[in-house]
Amino acid sequence: TKDAKDGDLISVDLLRGRGYGLPAGRVKERFGSVATEKAISLIAIHAHEIPMDFSAAAIAEAEAAQPAPLTGREDWRELPLITIDPPDAKDHDDAVHAEPDPDPSNAGGVIVHVAIADVAYYVRPGSALDRDALIRGNSVDCPDRVVPMLPERISNNLCSLVPGEPRGALAVRMVIGADGRKRSHSFHRVLMRSAAKLSYAQAQAAIDGKPDDITGPLLEPILKPLYAAYEVAKRGRDARDPLDLDIPERKILLKKDGTVDCVVVPERLDAHRLIEEFMISANVAAAELLEKKALPLIYRVHDEPTVEKIHALQEFLKTLDVPFAKSGALRPSLFNRVLTLVAGQDYEHLVNEVVLRSQAQAEYSTDNYGHFGLNLRRYAHFTSPIRRYADLVVHRGLLRALNLGDGALPDSETPDHLAEVAAQISVTERRAMKAERETADRLIAHHLADRVGATFQGRISGVTRAGLFIKLDDTGADGLVPIRTLGTEYFDYDETRHALIGQRSGAMHRLGDVVDVRLVEAQPVAGALRFELLTQADVLVSRHPRGAGPRRKSTAKRNTKTKAKATQADARPRHKEKSRKKNQKAGAKRKPGTSKKGRSWTP
């Protein structure tokens, strides 16, 4: 057993059984107690078969790699590029710089430089590093660990754009007009030296008048020109009008011992938007160049919502009296108008969630059908080759297109093979997302395990025939309120309203409602929470899905009606009571989960 104790997380080799009886196993590795969060992420990693160890050949290649030389590169070491990342980032693969355009013909325009780590120089097509990277497809970021796509010597050392160290990079120089539209771009293989490593909050604080010892000297020569360039680029973004959803993103912060400290929603700063906008522009430039050169390319694509999802959204918005008139081609601006109409309303969060659920899922493909959410005709991932294989393929394509040296996409590369690669990395991306989400769920469930019986406030984040999913406000934890615990009556699932509605009382629980719940059960290994609903449901007067919106009865009237119904039930004639029991007995013979009229109900 390798000294494993009850409660330890282990990996096991199952042994061949002999006849009947329990199967036997041999302990391969002991990871420690499940009570420690550092073991919890391993459950999802192993369950989804995410490789953690690199092959011996890949490790050997990484250890033998040498820093990129100046030979065959432009010298950008004097250009004051800086990195802006989360405070806990371990690798830094993108650096930025901006300045006013001195060209009189582009008055008010800017020049933006984006330099990306030259991963293609170290990870050559067909090498052991390349094979391992393709199997992974991308890095997996869990709260307590990162499973990298590349060995640490490559990802955190030779390719990380750390301050003061010369690093190889593939850079794009973009000229942006005063209207925010990109006028031209050019790609360069360079040797650069980062002038500083900043966090988002650090850069924003300096712009807001609170510079520190690091940002103080950078404020005038570097940061202010960057923010001025962002203000120019933002005009182009506003004209493009991409989908503008407001969905808070939570982050789990751990203590030094690996236990959950707290869950926060990082403030969305202009520093985040600045980097995001410059990265999007660089990605578009890469796609445009490769498409112009007619080279094989893996696009990042996002299809428009299906007709069925649009119809369902229209029906839902009718219940809130929110217009959604589609005329002509579908555009993100149509959804943005809806989001603007509901801004500041009680149901703003609800509408954002439903609009998000109406969207398709982005993926990688060699067929370009555009990026609906960003409202772009062509788009490719170029800016994170340390963490995404798709970006590495784009880098290789650029090297081949511009004849920039070693590591280029082979001439033998075919569109059919790249299509297979695109399909594979789309799968590994979804695998990573599931593992990250499940690990977060397990961490939070473990964090709340000793608070069974406590009450919390949250929102209904999902409505199904099985019950209500609740997302807690303070931790973002998700849990289920089983439908059988909602009351003594049957509840119909109204897909249009995203609600469960009581057949007798009209009590309605709807997606987005703010509710109070009591934690009944927490299962850390499964990452599951079960709640009991404490908030009384609103009672629906008009249940027609096309009505002008749900009208509520006052609490006093609702309580009076409920008491009256209880009195009537007590005073029910004896022969009617027998008839009711007979009907119940007949209903028990029907298939569980359906009523006489085919509605969903709780057995």
Evaluate if residue 236 carries a pLDDT over 90.
Answer: yes
Segment 581-601, tens digit of pLDDT: 444 444 444 444 443 333 332
Listed in sequence order, the residues at least 6 apart from 228 whose beta carbon sits closer than 8 Å to its beta carbon are 98, 100, 110
* pLDDT class of 575 with cuts at 50, 70, 90: very low
436 and 460 both lie in a single domain:
no
Instruction: Give the pair of three-digit tokens for residue 349.
Output: 């969060």
Contacts of 328 (CB under 8 A, 6+ apart): none
Contact 174, 282 (CB under 8 A): yes
Asked which of 62-66, 458-462, 556-560 is least confident by mean pLDDT, the reply is: 556-560
> Rounded CA gap, 386 and 390, in Å?
10
Chain position carrying tokens 């042994």? 15
Pair 291, 192 in one domain: yes
pLDDT digits (tens, 9 = 90+) for 283-310: 999 999 999 999 999 999 999 999 999 9
Q: Band of the pLDDT at 120, cuts 50, 70, 90?
A: very high
Cβ atoms of 470 and 515 closer than 8 Å: yes
> What is the structure's pLDDT at 38?
67
Is 160 a member of any domain?
yes
* 408, 460: one domain: no
Residue where a domain stops, chosen among 411, 444, 477: 444
pTM for this predicted structure: 0.84
pLDDT of 568 strictly over 60: no
pLDDT at 249: 82
Whether 555 has a pLDDT exceeding 60, the answer reads no
Q: Is residue 62 part of a domain?
A: yes
pLDDT for 33 beyond 80 = no
Same domain as 249, residue 370? yes
Does 595 reside within a domain?
no
Judge contact between 151 and 49, C-beta under 8 A. Answer: no
Number of domains forming the structure of the chain? 2
Q: Where are the alpha helices (DSSP H) in 242-299?
A: 270-292
Kind of pairing, strands 145-147 and 140-142? antiparallel
- The pLDDT-based confidence of 463 (bands split at 50, 70, 90) is very high
- How many Cβ atoms from other residues are within 10 Å of residue 567's Cβ? 9
Using pLDDT thresholds of 50, 70 and 90, give the confidence band for residue 381.
very high
Mean pLDDT of 515-540: 89
- In 465-581 the beta strands, taken as DSSP E runs, fall at 467-472, 478-482, 491-494, 499-502, 507-510, 514-523, 528-533, 538-539
Last residue of a domain, one of 444, 476, 511: 444
425-452: pLDDT as tens digits = 999 999 999 999 999 898 899 889 989 9
Which of 557, 549, 588, 565 shows the shortest CA–CA distance to 503? Answer: 565
- Both 458 and 527 in one domain: the answer is yes
Q: Is the pLDDT of residue 187 over 70?
A: yes
In a domain, 181, yes or no: yes
- Residues 410-415 have a mean pLDDT of 92
Instruction: Indicate the pLDDT class of residue 18, thresholds 50, 70 and 90.
Output: low
The rounded distance, in Å, linking the Cα atoms of 256 and 42 is: 18
CB neighbour list of residue 489: distance below 8 Å, 6 or more residues apart: 502, 503, 504, 505, 507
Give the integer Cα–Cα distance in Å for 512 and 460.
Answer: 5
Residues 414 and 535 in one domain: no
Beta strands in 144-289 (DSSP E): 145-147, 166-176, 182-193, 196-199, 251-254, 260-264
Look at residue 6 and tell me if it is in a domain.
Answer: no
Q: Does residue 211 surpass a pLDDT of 90?
A: yes
Clarify whether residues 236 and 204 are in a common domain.
yes
Average pLDDT over residues 488-508: 90
Which sign does the torsion angle of CA 495, 496, 502, 508 carry?
Answer: positive
pLDDT of res. 286: 98
**Residues 253 and 189 placed together within one structural domain of the fold:** yes
Would 344 be classed as within a structural domain?
no
- Angle subtended by helix axes 37-47 and 415-448, to nearest 10: 150
User: What pLDDT shows up at residue 355?
Assistant: 93
The percentage of the chain sitting over the pLDDT mark of 90, rounded to a whole number, equals 64
Contact 494, 545 (CB under 8 A): yes
Banded pLDDT at 321 (limits 50, 70, 90): confident
Please, what is the average pLDDT of the chain?
87
Return the axis-axis angle of helices 389-402 and 415-448, rounded to nearest 10°.
Answer: 150
**Residue 76 belongs to what H/E stretch?**
strand 74-76
111 and 160 both lie in a single domain: yes
Contact criterion met (CB below 8 Å) for 344 and 245: no
Do residue 564 and residue 537 come from a single domain?
yes
Q: Is there a domain that residue 600 lies in?
A: no
Q: Is 528 helix (H, G, I), strand (E, B) or coil?
A: strand
377 shares its domain with 465: no
Mark which of 385, 413, 444 sits at the end of a domain: 444
CATH number at residue 548: 2.40.50.140
Round to whole Å and give the CA distance between 109 and 115: 20
Other C-beta atoms lying within 10 Å of the C-beta of residue 183: 14
CA distances from 524 to 427, 436, 442, 477, 527 (A): 27, 15, 5, 12, 5
Query: Is 222 part of any domain?
Result: yes
pLDDT band of 557, cuts 50, 70, 90: very low
Mean pLDDT to the nearest integer, 18-46:
80
Its domain, for residue 201, covers 42-303+360-444
Taking CA atoms, 174 is separated from 6, 408, 520, in Å, by 60, 22, 56
The DSSP line for 467-493 is EEEEEETTT--EEEEEGGGS-SS-EEE
Range of weakest confidence among 16-30, 41-55, 411-425: 16-30
Same domain, 487 and 422: no
Q: Are 301 and 370 in contact (CB under 8 A)?
A: yes
Residue by residue, what is the 3-state secondary structure of 395-445?
Answer: HHHHHHHHCCCCCCCCCCCCHHHHHHHHHHHHHHHHHHHHHHHHHHHHHHH
